[in-house]
Amino acid sequence: MATKLLLTFAICRLIVTVGLTLTPMELLQLGVDGELTVDPSDIETASLDFGRLNRAEPLAVLYPASAEDVARMVKAAYESAQGFTVSARGHGHSINGQAQAGNGVVIQMSGGDDGVLGGVTVGKAGRVRIWEKLGYVDAWGGELWIDVLRSTLEYGLAPKSWTDYLYLSVGGTLSNAGISGQAFNHGPQISNVYELDVVTGKGELLTCSAENNSELFHAVLGGLGQFGIITRARIALEPAPKSVRWIRVLYSNFTAFTQDQEYLISLQGQPASQKFDYVEGFVIVDEGLINNWRSSFFSPRNPVKISSLGANGGVLYCLEITKNYDQSTSHTVDQDVEALMQKLNFIPASVFTTDLPYVDFLDRVHKAELKLRSKGLWEVPHPWLNLFVPRSRIGDFDRGVFKGILGNKTSGPILIYPMNKNMWDGRSSVVTPEEEVFYLVALLRSALDARDETRTLEYLSNQNRQILRFCDEARIDVKQYLPHYTTQEEWMDHFGGDRWARFHRRKTEFDPRHILATGQRIFRPSLASDAVVAASW
């Protein structure tokens, strides 16, 4: 009875605020099995995200028990007289409020570790189903990748492509791309999806693939939540290795560093023994990081002093690579690694290596998260900037940003690694540079309440703007990954003429009232109430 009263109150609030045409009893009769709540703690959680840069309070939060719950809520929004916005939220790791729905409804897709969604206990089989012989897994859109991994490992299998952090939802990463050091070989996560169930902006629950409803399938992958909410994804699997040889080496010369990275990703089509399985890298511009960069990775008994290595322009570059192996290949891993390493031009004294279980390598960032949480340094503003930089201009970017704008303070990791464009499907909604090789540069900084001005939110945000302005003035055609713009004109420039026309056409087809994912600020919602529009923009 208490649950029904709370639900009725939530519906009444929607009626008063946005003119919902359905009565409370009619919406109750839609058969929502989850929980629609206006509890202050739920509202507060849905108002924020990992970025801690924006706050937008929804009217209500829906914890769905099924895809049908999602479809019923979106259809109610689509058919309401004045309309209201709906955004899907996974684990809340957006940076700039992309999953927020001011004066709308947030659909909380990710449940707790106990298998509870919307107050309804859902067994693991209901959220993740492994098709061992067919080599794929069906996962609920709100499932976290760490739980997908745990489930598939029970069958000796694992997805092929990852993100560096696994506590992200399946639907969330597939709505962007999903990238890590495996992307050069397997492509982003969106290149490893066979089929999706999607709730469109009209409230239709559709199954789509490259062969069936293909326009919706390609639109949703990397579509920033604009065309539908992913409720199920069928993801490709491969045999999971048992162990990983994890290697880091240093460079003082940027050209040598990028040449080696590009050589390693050029081995994409070679047999497994003749290539690494993961290629990433990062930039070291902070003197403190130069002295401590290996503290969480290597044995403190290693006597090499990183600070004694000559750094061109005060900057060092770290190449990070891995080789997967299991019992059948453990006797050859040393010689395979050695053969590959002989072709690289790193600083000889800077080789650091460790071996660890495959799952521990994939879940490596979570350990850092736990440390930061224990120090109260996790729930702070994160003014992150992620850029795709064309290969031909990465040297100019190094000189202007790494050796220029950043100075000798970073306030967080700076990742840099190349990817092969031929592993990305041009039919998806993701925007990448036109060149066949492009780099991810990810400035993953945290703003802290410290006496050091260079670690404040204002300083880091201004520095991000300075980096973007430098790229614009130098005519480096970067594309933002996890993009954030505040005007449609900026979005049109981001996509470019033909791609914007396709993106706009898809929006008109699949979300004609522009009610989905308005936190992205791409399309103004078609709502009758100016108050609702103002709250969303």
Question: In the chain, what is the greatest distance between 2 CA atoms, to the nearest angstrom?
Answer: 72
Q: Choose, from 195, 280, 363, 511, the residue flagged as catalytic.
A: 280
Beta-carbon contacts of 24 under 8 Å, excluding residues fewer than 6 positions away, are 7, 8, 11, 12, 15
C-alpha span between 504 and 495 (Å, rounded): 10
**Residue 493 is among the residues annotated as catalytic for this protein:** no
**Residue 164 is among the residues annotated as catalytic for this protein:** yes
Q: Choose, from 93, 218, 382, 514, the residue flagged as catalytic.
A: 93
**Residue 334 is among the residues annotated as catalytic for this protein:** no
C-alpha span between 77 and 529 (Å, rounded): 13
Tokens of 382: 């994160």
Closest CA to 70 of 45, 29, 107, 105: 107
Tokens of 63: 């914890």
C-alpha span between 270 and 266 (Å, rounded): 9
Encode 443-500 in three state secondary structure: ECCCCCCCCCHHHCHHHHHHHHHHHHHHHHHCCCCCEECCCCCCCHHHHHHHHCHHHH
C-alpha span between 293 and 304 (Å, rounded): 12
C-alpha span between 247 and 361 (Å, rounded): 11
504-511: long-range contacts (C-beta < 8 A, 24 or more apart)? 506/215, 506/219, 506/223, 506/226, 506/227, 506/429, 507/226, 507/227, 509/215, 510/200, 510/201, 510/202, 510/216, 510/219, 510/226, 510/227, 510/228, 511/200, 511/201, 511/202, 511/226, 511/227, 511/228
Between β-strands 136-140 and 414-420, what pairing exists: parallel, antiparallel or unpaired? unpaired
Write the CA distances from 19 to 30, 74, 83, 101, 527, integer angstroms: 18, 15, 7, 17, 10
Residue ranges of E strands in 167-227: 193-200, 205-209
Round the CA-based radius of gyration of the chain to a whole number and report it.
23
- Looking at residue 358, the DSSP 8-state letter turns out to be H
Q: Choose, from 164, 238, 369, 396, the residue flagged as catalytic.
A: 164
Q: Tell me which residues are annotated as active site.
A: 93, 164, 280
